[in-house]
Structure 1
Amino acid sequence: GIDILKPGRNSLWKPPGYDKFPTFVIETIVKDCYGNIWFGNHMDKFGVIWKDKQGYYRVKYYGEGYFILADKIKPQLFISSTHGLKRVIIDDKGNINRTFNYEASSGPNSLSSNYTYPVCKQNDSTYWIGTIGGGLNRMLLHERDNSYSIKWYAGNYGVFNDVESLEIDDTGNIWMGGNGMECLNPVTGKITRYDKNDGLQGNSFKVGSSCKGADGRLYFGGINGLNYFYPDQIKLNTVSAQPVLTDILINNQKPVYSNLDTSENSMTQVIGYNSEIKLKYLQNNFVVFFSAMHYANPLKCKYRYRLEGFDKDWKFTDGRNPSAAYSNLDYNSYKFVVEATNNDGVWSKNRAETTIIVTPPWWKSDIAKLFYYLLLIAGLAGIYIYQARWYRLKREMEVRAVNEQKREEMHKHREELYQQQLVFFTNVSHEFRTPLTLILGPLEALISHNRNASLNDSYQLMFRNAKRLINLISELMNFKKVSDSIVKLQVQPLAVNQFCEGLALEFRNISDSKGIYFKMTNYTEQYISAPLTGPFDVQIIEKILFNLLNNSFKYTNTGGKVAFDIFTDFDKFTPSFATGFKVLNEGYRANKYIYFRVADTGIGISSESITKIFDRYYRISKDHLGSGVGLALVKSLTQLHKGDIYVYSERNKGTEIIIGLPLGEENYEELEKVVFGNSLQVQLESIDNSLHLPLPGSTDQEQPAVEKQRKRILIVDDNHELLDFLKQTLNTYYYTYEAENGSSALEIATEKVPDLIISDVMMSGMNGIELCKVIKERFETRHIPFIILSAKDALDTKIEGMESGADFYFAKPFSIDLLLLTVHNIFKQSEKLRLRYTNNYLSEATELAQSEKDKEFFHVLLNLIEENIEDPDLDVDFLCAHLHISRTKLYQKIKSISDQSVGEFIRTIRLKKAIQIMTHEGIPMNEVADRIGLQSSSNFSRAFKKEYGKSPLQFMQSLKKNSHF
């Protein structure tokens, strides 16, 4: 607490208001320029005691603050805490009128630590701040605009990290107590350090325990007592140090000082009395010891030393470790120099130095060098002798280099030509997809409706060859994607046994039709009881194995054999043929692999061609049909999957190809793994040749609606032929609008509000994906189902289309039967929802909405209707006014989703509400009519019977009879 002792009294004085004085431990007590008493402590409190006009002492408490510096002239205080420093502007009653906070941050103009303690004022603009953990800070304060700048004195400056007490002497020097005592000259930046050996009570001082007497004497309290002194009476020691070399360790051992000893650790003379030390080549690791020969306080002496010829700059050490260590010096002559200070840091002009010579071994001696020189002359003579031969070979090398350069240029030219061909083929392949759609679509219709067997065979032949052309295009597109690194590895757990059995099953028909014996063997089941599961990219492994099996069946004649095996132990595998070739993935090696073997007894590969079969567009002979990209694609996909390829073959005997893929999730990075639950499902771009889906208008399907109820479909495509084909096909069952680009389609969709939109992607101006995004964002059109047609079948393009809001994605060429069935199912599902809403009196209207935004709109609409359902004036105008929507848009939205007008929709909601009231509350019918906003019970009964075919009383009786409630 705080007590008052008046001079001349032997007892404490308790003035009026003393009972309000603080009773906790006081760390700091100061007087401001008004004479008020400020106090602080470590309990996160500081406050002020001031006397009012009646002589009553009053106390105010504030927040955290345990060290306070009060300005004797200006009405301001500096308050330290663990959260930085505060500067407060006060008045004569102890009120704080304004506060400025200074904290530590990553910026340059901030405190070095928020844990501040002692603060000293040097002049009106300069303040020194001690911190715990951040050293000393100097603040230059500009009170005119309250700006400031802070400079840190820590680290390289040599100031204590913990400045626990702080005072400024009469000459402007800064004295700090911490781990010892330091004196900083702020002009020169020089720091002088004092410790227990200089007469201090100890090397640790108490926080905040310092003051300056009126006569200039400084007082610092420590853990062992008090130090007080006049700063101007502390004089520097001017006695110079006399540095000498005292000892040396060679290879961590003391040398034997004897001229006669020739061991590796011998010395020619005692180090302190000889200006030269000669060491043998194995003695190039040594430590030199030295002393300042100054005994006032030898631990405070400082040293700088340098080994000239090795050290570029001076190295420094202190009295705790006066030594210099060197290791692995080259064989040379060096000069070691050391200088020292006395205990007050005054450098001496004297120095100790010696020459250290590390002699080379015999093979680096002068005689050895002479021998090397003679050997060099002999070598030059030998070079001269063979010079003539060199000139003969030089011409051959030049010719070889020219030929190599020509080969490189030809290779570069072939590569450029290949890229041009690939780009050309890729562009042409994209253009093929739309014409193929126009071929396959009518063909499907002809196959489905034609009953002539001979014509059907022709149509099937045309259909199969068109599909074959699609497969060739897809193969070329896949190779282009792999070459351009577009294909990314996406592995996921795969049941290998089940997958391979399914793949083998697809080739059973081919083996039966060609008369080829085909067998699949799973050797992994001999070692693993459970089905083998591993991380694989399903699309990549399917393309690899499909290509290999397809090639085997293609080049194996009737009566031949094809084998498809799976195994994990490559060491037990024995090649079927002598000639072999392997392509290893040098960039990655796994601990365990699974191997897929495809072997046949076909025409085989010659030893000259086996190393080239994976080259792009390479064809072994005229007997090998194909585009030449199949095996090149296999190689690229296998390397992408971090796998290896082994090929064994002999001409006219057969071929054996083994694919080895890493087995284990540790072989793949997180980005290469499929994240389940985030993948989008897209519409498959093709169907099986034998599958013919019935048209929406066939006998197996529901007949389309009558003419006035026909659904309206907007078709968008910049290809006139495809646009006409789709229009002609769909007009049989639906009304159609057509547009050639996204902008025109958007205008039609906004004006007509069709029931479905079918759009191409690649169009000038606004493309299909952009159109889909706009349609799904607009209020009046976001309920419309959207189908995308695209010549791009890449997964990322499909994902982009589905993310834009599309309901289905068809890749060209697509099945017109599947498209018609999809359109029919969309309308059928929508009609089911409408019927469910109309017939089921307990269903919610929000079930009609398909998009989240439409569900949100219906939720708001239903809440508005239910809140005002007792109002007879609840009508279209009421809803439009509260929803801030036009009558036309509200009608279109409700009509398109519920197939009702706005009035019919309100009446349906009223009647559903009436059923809820009747079944749960059991009140009279006239009250029910009032509760739903109908003005009379007769109107209610008439409307109810029109909607449900029964009067309300009959309806309730039937419900009770059936025990539904």
Structure 2
Amino acid sequence: GLQSDEFWHNAYFKDQKGRLYFGGQNGFNAFYPDSIKSNPFIPKIVFTDLKIFNKSVKIDEKVNGDIIISKSITQTSEIVLSHRNNIFTIEFAALHFTQPLKNKYLYKLEGFDEDWVEKSADRHFASYTNLPAGDYIFKVKASNNDGVWNEEGVSLKILITPPFWATWWFRLLTIGFIIIAVIVFYQKRTYNIKQRNKELEHKVQERTHELADERNLLKTLINIIPDHIYVKDKFSRFILNNKSHLHLLGATKQEDVIGKTDKDIFPAEFSEKYYDDEKMIIQTGQSQINKEEIVKDLTDNRQYYVSATKVRFMNSKGDVEGIVGISHDITDRKEFEEDLKQAKIDADLANLYKSEFLANMSHEIRTPMNGVIGMTELASDMAINKQQKEYLMFAKQSAESLLDILNDILDFSKIEAGKLELEIDDFNLRKVVENAASSMIIQAHTKGLELMSEVKTNVPVAVQGDSGRLRQIIINLIGNAIKFTESGEIVVRVELNDTSKQNGSDSIGFHFSVSDTGIGIPKNKLTKIFESFSQADNSTTRKYGGTGLGLSISQALAELMGGKIWVESEVGKGSTFHFTARFKPGQLKDEDTIQHAKINYKGFRVLIVDDNNTNCIILKDMMEIWGFNTTIARNGEKALNELYKATVEEKLFDIILLDYQMPEMDGFELAKKIRANAKWKNVRIFIMSSISEKGSIQKSKRIGIDYYLNKPVRQAELYTTITTTLGKTQNKKIKKEKNQTADKAVTTLKILLVEDNIINQKVAANSLKKWGHEVTVANDGVEAMELFNNHDFDLIFMDIQMPNMDGIEATKKIRDAGNSKSDIPIIAMTAHAMKGDRERFLDAGM
């Protein structure tokens, strides 16, 4: 044996005979390697354990209801496992115990493993899971420590039984059941289909009958329609026609025209156009809608107009099949249109004659009326007695009434013809309203009426619109108020309309009203008064006169301005006429602007003396805008009491606004008493009067009145008077321009007056000469040109309608002269007042 189990590294030697020597701590050993023999023992192999679900199975033990082994696994040659127990482990061992850790194993499950699986001595088991049902043989081989194998090994038959649903009999039953189910389903399905087919066949028959009925109904409807209805194929050949179209084609039945085209039926002058249109429709798909065509009825050879519509139609595949057409006889309409055209021509011609007639009548009437008015004015300035002056005044009023009637008729004619248009320009709204009221003051004073105007402080005065037509409405309403008011007052008011901002519009809404204390209007007559040639009562026409056109014209003008007009009235208490209008914001000239926002009269005291309550309120509101502290007295006695009271309190008044006409003590008498008191010598007195008696201004100065104001008092005039009196005028430019204007007014001008009417010549020439100008008269345009070429003039007044050469032609010649005198101002004088006249004059250069 070996001396020790420890040896020195590399301490060995081999001799020639093959003997091997190697040494250690206790000496050396020697042996022949070729004499060493391997272990020849073939190990026996046995199965040592069977585990299901990793649990060892005992003999006769039930696992999931099955007995797996009835004797030791070592002695068992076959096991049967159900599908429930097909997760198992088999352990095995080689009965060789010389260095057993060097034993090796190979195993294989025939029917599942393709090759042998090698296992080491420490893992001598095999595990399988979820094996399919079937027969298997588990084989194991082993070797000893020297690698001697037991090739025969050991084996174990394993039968895995399938679940019932995987058995052949279950599959056979399942297939049979499926076949039976299919047969039953097929029988039932075919039965339902047969029943459904029967129902469908029945419905098809019903629908076929319905379609036949509908087709017959449609055919009947198409045939009774008087319009021509037809269908053509894509080659424009007829395939369907209604009776009306067959009659047009001269046919009695459908077969007479099927397959024919328009070229086979109509003359070429018609058929070529029809064919070209249809060819275009087929190619482009663009329908022909309500095209007017001329057709010829081949039954009676009558030609007439039709409105023809043709559209392309296609089948379900989208292929073009042909054209459907319908044409409607419009001969009566065409004849009616021709009659209308001729009627319009006749109406336009009649309107032209009417316009020319009105223009001529306007000229022929205005010319002598202006002569009458002008001559009466000239005569009134002569030294005549009171009765003669009264006669002249009546003559002038009559002439002016005639002119008013003429103007109403002309305006009504324009409205009736729809030719009344607004002339838009920038203007001062307050100035227009106040001037309109001032122009009616004489008529109001004649009847002893107070006439006042009030423009609310929040009303913007710089607007853009037709100031002339606005003034016309206001004057018309004031005139009516004066006419139907015997005593009391008339007030014109302007305020912002509640609907001034609507729909994002940039225009501004205004509400105008003219109220009076007159006779009033019955409620059942309130709408009638706006009808043309109508008044509330025929008796009023006889008593007060008038054409009955004024309110109708005012209504049309208000509507043109984007508003409306209405009236509120109570019999015996008076009336208030309202109207609204819309204007865009505008720009004003310097002379139209009041700079009162820059001056504040806070601390200044004003005494307003007027017996009319409305006038007091208007003046109070006006003065308080500028910061004045106002006090109101309704008569002279109360005014003196207020003055005494102010003296005692040492709060003297700076200005007194004094009405002239008051009961008990008039304005002049009160002014005398004020000036008689030395304590009131510095107070400024402005007297207000709606009348202008001769010498009243001089009388005012003698008494000590500072300023004489005409009623209704205008804001701009009152403002200028106050600022001048109190020494607070800031706008020196306005003052300078006024002085320049005054200087210019007295400058003598050389004026050429071109007028063919002798009366008008005398009126115009005498008026101009009275104002200090040099006047040269020309009887027509020819004389005017000769005088213009040979003399220098500053201004030309040009009549329009004259013999030899009218005013328009003469103006054009002057403008076309091209010399330094061609830009001379030319002012038209005309009685023409029709639409377009003003534009013609301006275009000519006036």
Q: Say whether the fold is shared (TM-score over 0.5).
A: no
TM-score (norm 1): 0.31
Structure with the larger helix share: 2
Structure exhibiting the larger radius of gyration computed from Cα positions: 2
TM-score (norm 2): 0.35
Higher relative contact order (CA 8 A, sep 6+): 2
